[in-house]
Amino acid sequence: MAKASKKGKHRQRTERRYEPQAATNAWFTRILAAAGSIAMGAGVYSQIPSLRPEDAAPIAASPWLLGGGSVALAVALWFGTSGDAVIRVGDPGVGIDDGKTVRRIAWHAVASVSLGGGAVVVEGKDDEGKSLKIRASLKTQADAAGAIVHEARVRVPAVVGVPEDATTYIEGAGHAHAPEPLKVVGRACAASGKSITFEQDARVCGRCERVYHKASVPAECECGEALAASPAAATS
């Protein structure tokens, strides 16, 4: 896919995934999960005759081990995930990943990045033009919250209303991830409104991911990024 970067070179899009962090003590969660798993394993082992020496009697406590183990594991998993989804931050914008689908707000579609209810809140429109609000808790998704504010300050500073010291950006936090390819066919050019029929006709702003038809690429994107003046220069 062609990418209208400053050098007019093909640039790989990147994104990072931020798993929710446990609100409770991480070690407590891990130990509880480990103890639960071991107890469950012991319970299962003692319940299956073929895993036992033939002359050994079933361990009387095994149903309790199995039951208690399951409860401990369930409690650990519940505390460990706290119900928050994975947040993705990168070139494609801010996304919320529930394990099945990813809904994103592209940077050019971000209306505001604010602080509210102990979270960084991103409001805007998803790829289908529907309103979307993504919250990154300062407690359980602090890394994601920091990354959102950091990226937004670089890409769309005008819409950021978060105090300087409210979040911390930790470079290298989260996991690098190749985002799903940007779909450009069928999109309307951000300058002319002309529908893009062929992928090779699209020029994409590397900062906000606005899509332009190659025939109407402005010198500067609406986000302020300088785009290649001549369409030919933007061809990868």
Q: Specify the residue, 73 or 106, whose C-beta has the smaller distance to Zn ion.
A: 106
The Cα–Cα gap between 181 and 57 comes to 59
**Least distance from Zn ion to the Cβ atom of residue 227, Å:** 8
Q: Specify the residue, 61 or 154, whose C-beta has the smaller distance to Zn ion.
A: 154
Question: What CA–CA distances, in Å, run from 18 to 2, 159, 162, 173, 227?
Answer: 28, 22, 20, 8, 31
Contact status, residue 97 vs residue 87, Cβ threshold 8 Å: yes
Contact status, residue 221 vs residue 207, Cβ threshold 8 Å: yes
**Least distance from Zn ion to the Cβ atom of residue 106, Å:** 10
Q: Specify the residue, 17 or 203, whose C-beta has the smaller distance to Zn ion.
A: 203
The Cα–Cα gap between 85 and 104 comes to 13
Site string for Zn ion, 199-228 (x = CB under 5 A): ------x-xx-x----------x-x-x---
**Least distance from Zn ion to the Cβ atom of residue 213, Å:** 15
Query: What is the dihedral sign for C-alpha 15, 17, 23, 29?
Result: negative
Question: Could you say which residues in the range 145-164 bind Zn ion, by CB under 5 A?
Answer: none
Q: Are strands 175-177 and 15-18 parallel, antiparallel or unpaired?
A: antiparallel
**Least distance from Zn ion to the Cβ atom of residue 170, Å:** 26
Q: Specify the residue, 191 or 208, whose C-beta has the smaller distance to Zn ion.
A: 208
Q: What tokens were used for 178?
A: 């190749």
- Per the listing, tokens 């971000």 go with 110
Question: Could you say which residues in the range 24-63 bind Zn ion, by CB under 5 A?
Answer: none
Q: Specify the residue, 88 or 108, whose C-beta has the smaller distance to Zn ion.
A: 108
**Least distance from Zn ion to the Cβ atom of residue 91, Å:** 11
The Cα–Cα gap between 35 and 27 comes to 12
**Least distance from Zn ion to the Cβ atom of residue 179, Å:** 17
Return the SS3 of 203.
strand
Judged by CB under 5 A, the number of residues near Zn ion is 7
Site string for Zn ion, 167-206 (x = CB under 5 A): --------------------------------------x-
What is the binding site for Zn ion (CB under 5 A)?
Answer: 205, 207-208, 210, 221, 223, 225
